[in-house]
Amino acid sequence: MKQTEKIADLNASDVDRIIEMAWEDRTPFDAIERQFGLSEQDVITVMRRELKPASWRRWRARVQGRSTKHESLSAVDDARFKADQQRAVTHNKIAKR
């Protein structure tokens, strides 16, 4: 599937989620690719198309060269937010409030 076809197949909620993930400092491009099948260049294309020019320039300056946006450059592993005693998500139960 071509890049333009992948981007054209996205619905509005997917585009919103991609933009949200792209703005987050700790969400790598690899996570976006696993979830939506978009490469880093595809994400850049979506951001350029959807953001205002000033917002686009601000985002681009922010993520360029940022090691946390690239898993291969990041020194942080995936288990950083999980406690040793934490159960699997499938076994967690939310208490009624």
**Is 85 inside a domain boundary?**
no
- Residue 19 domain-assigned (yes or no): yes
Comparison of pLDDT for 51 and 91, the residue scoring more: 51
Hey, how many other C-beta atoms are within 10 angstroms of the C-beta on 84? Answer: 5
pLDDT at res. 95 = 56
C-alpha to C-alpha distance for 10 and 75, rounded to whole angstroms: 32
Query: Is 64 a member of any domain?
Result: yes
Answer yes or no: are the C-beta atoms of 22 and 43 closer than 8 Å: yes
DSSP letters of 23-43?
Answer: HSTT--HHHHHHHH---HHHH
Q: Evaluate whether residue 81 is within a structural domain.
A: no
Does residue 32 belong to any structural domain of this protein?
yes
Q: Measured between alpha carbons, how far is 77 from 74 in angstroms, rounded to an integer?
A: 8
**How many angstroms separate the first and last alpha carbons of the chain?**
46
Q: Count of domains in the chain? A: 1
Q: Domain range spanning residue 27?
A: 3-73
In a domain, 21, yes or no: yes
Q: pTM of the predicted model, to two decimals?
A: 0.67
pLDDT tens for 30-88 read 999 999 999 999 999 999 999 999 999 999 998 887 777 766 655 555 545 555 555 55
